[in-house]
Each structure stands twice: as C-alpha cells, then as structure tokens.
Amino acid sequence: GFNLLLWWRQAYRRALILSKETRFDVIHCHDFDTLAIGIRLKRKLGLPLIYDAHEIYGYMVARSLPRWIANMLLWLEKRLVTKADRIINAWEAQRRYFSRVTDRPISIIMNCKPLQSMEYQPADNEGKFTVLYIGGLHKGRAVPMLVHAVRELTGVQCLIGGSGHPNYVQALKEECSRISNATFLGKVPLDEVIPMTGKYDCVFLMIDPADLNNSIALANKQFEAMVCGRPIICTKGTYSGEVTEQEEVGLVVEYTEEALKQAIIKLRDNPGLREKLGRNALEAAITKYNWQKEEVKLLELYKSLQNESQLSG
C-alpha cells in the first residue's frame, strides 16, 4: 500500500511536468492503480478523464490478498469511478458490473489483436499436435492441469510461457521438467506471441470458474487465437466459454483434468474439426474481433470528449 501511495505521488508529479512540455487533451487511466492520479490531474488541469478498467480490480487482487483488502479496494473504486467522465470496459459482463456502480457513460472497447492475414493457414508444428499457453501464470488459470493432462498422451506436446509470482512460476517450471512432452518457455516477448500462436495447433484458456475476475472476462488468448485461426479450449460457466460456444471457435469443457484430456484427444485425432474451428475463429476475427474495428471506437470516444470540453470551455 505504501509503495502505491509513493508511486501515485511520483507519477502525478511526472505527469504535471509532461503536461508543460506537451498539451494534453484527455487523461486516460488504465486500471484502478492509476485512477487516483487521473482524478488529481483532472482537478489540476481541468481535462476530461477516461477510466479504462481492464479488470474488476478488487476481484483480481482477491487471488493473493486478504478478502478485507479486496473489499476495501472494491469500495474505493466505486467511490472514485464517479469522478470519471467516461468509462471503458473490455467486455459486456464487466460493463454490467460498472453500470450498477455508476451512471457515467460506458463504452466497450475490447483488447482485440490486429488482423494478421485474411487467409486461413494450417499449423506448422512438424507433425506433433501442440497445445500452447502464453500468458499470466497464476492460480486462476489451470496451467498445472494442462501439464498433468498431457503427461500420458501420445503425439501431443504442450508449450507454456509467461510470467507470474516467482514461487508459482518456479513450481510450474519444475513440473514441466519432469514431463517429457511439456516445455516451459519462460517469458515470451510480446511481439513473438502471435507468430508462435499461428505456428501451433490449439490455444489453451481454461480458467477456474471460481476466479471472480477471470470467469467474467475475455482474455488476450481468445483474441490471439482468433486472429491466428486457431481453436481454443475454454471452461464451461465462464464468459470466455460462452463466447467460444457462440462463435463456434473451440471446445468448451468442464473444469476437470479428464474433460481437458478428452478435448485434447478430440482435437488431436480430428484435423477436420481443428480446421473448421480455426476457420470459424479467423472469420470471427475478420468480421468482429479485431483491433482495426476497436481502434475506430477509441478514436471516436476521444473526439467526442474533446468536442464536449471545447463546448463547455
């Protein structure tokens, strides 16, 4: 907590210096840990404020902090969010939460990825069916379940990359080292994630439905899989599972190792199904889930705020 207060103070001072060098039109705060700075800058500079909530912050920290701290952060966010002029949410379930908290206008701008190709490309994995996961490594994502599930499967390998709490990452790394068809990649540079996703057969995104934040979210994995035309494996009872079923872009299974194993076998043994789901995924990216479309929404939001502040000024 003290570190956050210190950082707020330093970031606020730095932003004031930057505002003297460059004229700001809008203050755009990403996530709750920047909101207090944005509110202070709004008062000081008289500029419109966007609160861009990628997560429900209290739900997210509930994974690692005591519940009373998570509840306090939820309460504080509800107080501060009313000071924003506009709210950006990344998906519909999140918008429903914030619309109960505030009457501020809410826009949904998803963290979609730029289109890579308009043509479906098959995987290039030298014949071994490969399940890929690159992302946050924490208890909310069922990555250890994936490592255990592939252990006894022939003709299957899983590749795992990402970052997280050092103890969790170390335990996962050791687990992978004991299993011949599980490879731990460590941290993967951001610009390599999509090329790697396109190279392999299937993207893994099983989320613990009890994880309050992730179960109502759409993860980057979903959008990466779509722009690469790759099927995804998701959990029943989660928002990512709902979208996967709706768009027919992957398999949605119960949150158990056995269900995951069966999904992997099904995709391994059925190249036709992999291609069908992959083509659906690319089609979903081209028609709906791509950054080119979301970018237009963001620019229009900036423009409308600028126009409003000019009228009121």
* Contact between residue 233 and residue 202 where contact means Cβ atoms under 8 Å apart: yes
Mean pLDDT, residues 139-151 taken together: 91
Please state, in angstroms and as integers, the Cα–Cα distance from residue 32 to each residue in 75, 135, 237, 256, 282, following that order: 12, 21, 26, 33, 33
| Per-position b or e across 66-102, b if 16+ CB within 10 A of its CB | eeeebeebbeebeebbebbbbbbbbbebbbeebeeeb
pLDDT band at 313 (very low <50, low <70, confident <90, very high): low
- φ, ψ of residue 151 to 5 degrees: the values are -45, -50
pLDDT band at 308 (very low <50, low <70, confident <90, very high): confident
pLDDT band at 95 (very low <50, low <70, confident <90, very high): very high
* Contact between residue 249 and residue 284 where contact means Cβ atoms under 8 Å apart: yes
pLDDT band at 114 (very low <50, low <70, confident <90, very high): very high
Question: What pLDDT, in 10s, does the model give residues 184-220?
Answer: 999 999 999 999 999 999 999 999 898 877 788 888 9
- Predicted confidence at residue 93, as pLDDT, reads 82
pLDDT band at 152 (very low <50, low <70, confident <90, very high): confident
Closest CA to 209 of 242, 187, 170: 242
Examine the pLDDT at 151 and tell me if it is beyond 70: yes
* Contact between residue 104 and residue 82 where contact means Cβ atoms under 8 Å apart: yes
Q: Token pair for residue 242? A: 């709902």
- Predicted confidence at residue 62, as pLDDT, reads 80
d(CA 159, CA 133): 6
Mean pLDDT, residues 63-78 taken together: 87
Instruction: Count the neighbouring beta carbons within 10 Å of the beta carbon of residue 291.
Output: 18
- Predicted confidence at residue 44, as pLDDT, reads 95
d(CA 241, CA 24): 40
Looking at per-residue pLDDT, the higher value among 61 and 109 belongs to 109
| Per-position b or e across 241-263, b if 16+ CB within 10 A of its CB | bbbbeebebbbbbebebebbbeb
Question: What pLDDT, in 10s, does the model give residues 81-93?
Answer: 999 999 999 988 8
Examine the pLDDT at 241 and tell me if it is beyond 90: yes
d(CA 57, CA 54): 8
Mean pLDDT, residues 2-18 taken together: 88
Give a three-class secondary structure readout of 22-60.
Answer: CCCCCEEEECHHHHHHHHHHHHHHCCCEEEEECCCHHHH
> Average pLDDT, whole number, for the chain?
92
- Predicted confidence at residue 53, as pLDDT, reads 92
Examine the pLDDT at 224 and tell me if it is beyond 70: yes
Looking at per-residue pLDDT, the higher value among 155 and 215 belongs to 155
Closest CA to 230 of 268, 188, 274, 271: 274
- Predicted confidence at residue 248, as pLDDT, reads 98
- Determine what percent of the chain is predicted with pLDDT higher than 90: 75
Mean pLDDT, residues 218-238 taken together: 95
pLDDT band at 245 (very low <50, low <70, confident <90, very high): very high
Half-sphere exposure of 232 (CA within 13 A, CB side): 35
- φ, ψ of residue 172 to 5 degrees: the values are -65, -45
- Predicted confidence at residue 50, as pLDDT, reads 97
Question: DSSP alpha helices (H): ranges in 84-131?
Answer: 92-101
* Contact between residue 31 and residue 84 where contact means Cβ atoms under 8 Å apart: no
Examine the pLDDT at 121 and tell me if it is beyond 70: yes
